[in-house]
Amino acid sequence: MSQDSSHEDRAADPHRVVVIVDENSNPFELGCTTEVFGLRRPELGRDLYDFRLCSPEPHTLMRDAFFTLTGVAGLEAAESADTLIVPNRPDVEVPRRPIVLDAVRRAHKRGTRLVGLCSGAFTLAEAGVLDGRRATAHWQWVDAFRARFPSVRLEEDVLFVDDGDILTAAGSAAALDLGLHIVRRDHGAEVANSVSRRLVFTAHRDGGQRQFIERPVPDLPDESLAPILAWAQERLDSPLTVSDLAARASVSPATLHRRFRTQLSTTPLAWLTGERVSLACRLIERGETHLEVVARHSGLGTAANLRALMRRQTGLTPSAYRQRFGPGAPHQ
């Protein structure tokens, strides 16, 4: 995306995402943000975000001096961000630059949405914007984070935390999970699925899933959940139960439950409900207005059940979701 659009053109621009890159920043998370927020989307017929990088210095040495980043905007670009992604880096014990922390504080005061990926939670905490707030960080740094920032409500062993205007991810692949969650929050499930397909990445992993699995996924091909997941996704409108899934997989419900916990860090019922809510969202985005029809075709049964589960998983009622993401919504 262009790094030099004028301030006067902001009204016509998409939501502006700005990433602050600082000395020793991790390139992986930078790549994730570029893939999710920075690419043009000709398959959607529109760009989702106005994406730019900025840095306090004209030459920024990336992690362990692997390469130097040049040619990006100065730190003043952070002042016009709608979403600001803060620096992350492996040397969590080294204080962040005061100039960067000041930029984060100003953004928070303006109401800018803040995102910390991996050790970016340390940046947010140093800036003082996480006091009393929910956040997560990479499992390797949980103890160090708690010792330095006891006022932060740290949720360990989850992929990401959405606390409204401040979002944090555990790191590495969880940066993609949080990025897609933000796209889903901004543009709906259908657009998020399109972005995930281009990434060749799973469309939705709930933020509450565990960061890592203590036991490795079994190598035996007949224990893979992929076939049963694909089978179930084609039959979400049917009255599927956990027992049905177990029978299809030729295992007991207890064994199926164990495999879901091991491979997906969730339960069969929670996965099935999440898939159905996602389908319901897509049906609403495509223009279906009758809640009973949406509930029936998504397998959620009744309009009342649809309302309750959509509110629980998306924070929106079906009518509010339609106003925000349905045909003719302002973002379209």
Q: Does the pLDDT value for residue 8 go beyond 50?
A: no
Q: What does the pLDDT look like over 92-148, one tens digit per residue? A: 998 999 999 999 999 999 999 999 999 999 999 999 999 999 999 988 899 999 999
Across 285-298, average pLDDT: 92
Residue partners of 114: CB distance under 8 A and separation at least 6: 83, 84, 86, 104, 107, 108, 124, 129, 165, 166, 167
CA 121 – CA 99 distance, rounded (Å): 17
The Cα–Cα gap between 99 and 36 comes to: 27
Phi, psi of 21 (to 5 degrees): -110, 125
Give the pLDDT band of residue 157 (cuts 50, 70, 90): confident
Average pLDDT, integer, range 240-251: 92
> pLDDT of 9-42, one tens digit each?
444 568 999 999 999 898 999 999 999 999 999 8
Residue 218 has a pLDDT of 41
Which pLDDT value is given to residue 205?
55
pLDDT at 193 over 60: yes
Inform me whether the pLDDT recorded for 223 exceeds 50: yes
Q: Is the pLDDT of residue 195 over 80?
A: yes
Q: 3-class SS at 115?
A: strand
Q: Could you tell me the pTM of the whole model?
A: 0.74
Residue 211 pLDDT greater than 90, yes or no:
no
Beta bridge partners of 153: 134
Average confidence (pLDDT) over 248-275: 90
Distance of CA 301 to the CA centre of its chain: 28
Question: Which pLDDT value is given to residue 208?
Answer: 44
CA distance linking residue 275 with residue 70, whole number of Å: 42
Reported as a pLDDT band with limits 50, 70 and 90, residue 331 is low
Q: ∠ CA 180-304-234 to the nearest 5 degrees?
A: 50
The pLDDT, as a whole number, for residue 4 is: 43
pLDDT-based confidence at 7, cuts 50/70/90? Answer: very low
Distance CA 140, CA 52 (A): 30
Phi-psi region of 19 (alpha: psi -120 to 50; beta: other; left: phi over 0): beta
pLDDT at 247: 93
User: Rounded mean pLDDT of 194-207?
Assistant: 70
DSSP-assigned states of every residue in 131-148: TT-EE---GGGHHHHHHH
More confident residue, 214 or 324: 324
